[in-house]
């Protein structure tokens, strides 16, 4: 007879060693979000880009992103990472459909594809998400910079984005008619 036990409440979490092993063997699923502010007509007026220190100690710009956990819906993962990176008062307005504006594939070797992540092979579903509240970055983000769509799509911001995310940011802006 099988024993009945209480399921592990954190079964979607991996230890650092488990994650490192999985990253060497499998592509991981991520969600990414481009936070925006819109006017009453739904036109994007501002774009939020995170400033952070990467693992090499360089200051770079990036987007809200993170892994989808085992048993977690895309919507829940997206909300969790928006709250984690922007704070609990950001009040993101998640899209009614889980269809992303883009699918980005990150490879651990530079030059293989447009997107690069030295840690792993990852597939990321990318969304544009309006936020209506106060954003106060948490975790490893230093600040959230609000820019006009033109500023966010500039060559200067593109060059500061890590892993090819400048191209993803431009694609996000194009997907909502903000370029």
Q: Is the pLDDT of residue 2 over 80?
A: no
Q: Is the pLDDT of residue 1 over 80?
A: no
CATH H-level, domain 25-175: superfamily: Nucleoside Triphosphate Pyrophosphohydrolase (3.90.79.10)
As a three-state string, the secondary structure of the chain is CCCCCCCCCCCCCCCHHHHHHHHHHCCEEEEEEEEEEECCCCCEEEEEEEEEECCCCCEEEECEEEECCCCCCHHHHHHHHHHHHHCCCCCECCCCCCCCCEEEEEECCCCCCCEECCCCCEEEEEEEEEECCCCCCCCCEEEEEEECHHHHCCHHHHHHECCCHHHHHHHHHHHCCCC
Q: What is the pLDDT of residue 10?
A: 52
Mean of pLDDT over the chain: 89
Q: What is the pLDDT of residue 140?
A: 78
Q: What is the pLDDT of residue 7?
A: 44
Tens digit of each residue's pLDDT (9 = 90 or more) over 111-170: 888 999 988 899 999 999 999 999 998 877 889 999 999 999 999 999 999 999 999 999
């Amino acid at each position: 007879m099988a024993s009945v036990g209480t399921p592990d409440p954190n079964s979607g979490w991996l230890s650092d060693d488990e994650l490192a092993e999985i990253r060497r063997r499998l592509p991981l699923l991520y969600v990414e979000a481009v936070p925006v502010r819109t006017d009453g007509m739904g036109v994007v007026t501002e774009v939020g880009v995170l400033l952070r220190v990467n693992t090499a100690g360089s200051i770079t710009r990036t987007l809200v992103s993170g892994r989808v956990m085992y048993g977690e819906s895309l919507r829940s993962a997206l909300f969790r990472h928006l709250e984690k990176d922007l704070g609990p008062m950001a009040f993101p307005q998640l899209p009614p459909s889980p269809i992303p504006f883009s699918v980005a594939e990150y490879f651990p070797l530079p030059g293989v594809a447009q997107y690069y992540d030295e840690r792993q092979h990852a597939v990321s579903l990318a969304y544009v998400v309006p936020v209506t509240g106060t954003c106060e970055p948490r975790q490893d983000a230093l600040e959230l910079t609000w820019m006009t769509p033109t500023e966010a799509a500039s060559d200067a911001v593109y060059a500061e984005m890590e892993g090819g995310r400048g191209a993803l940011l431009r694609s996000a802006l194009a997907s909502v008619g903000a370029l």
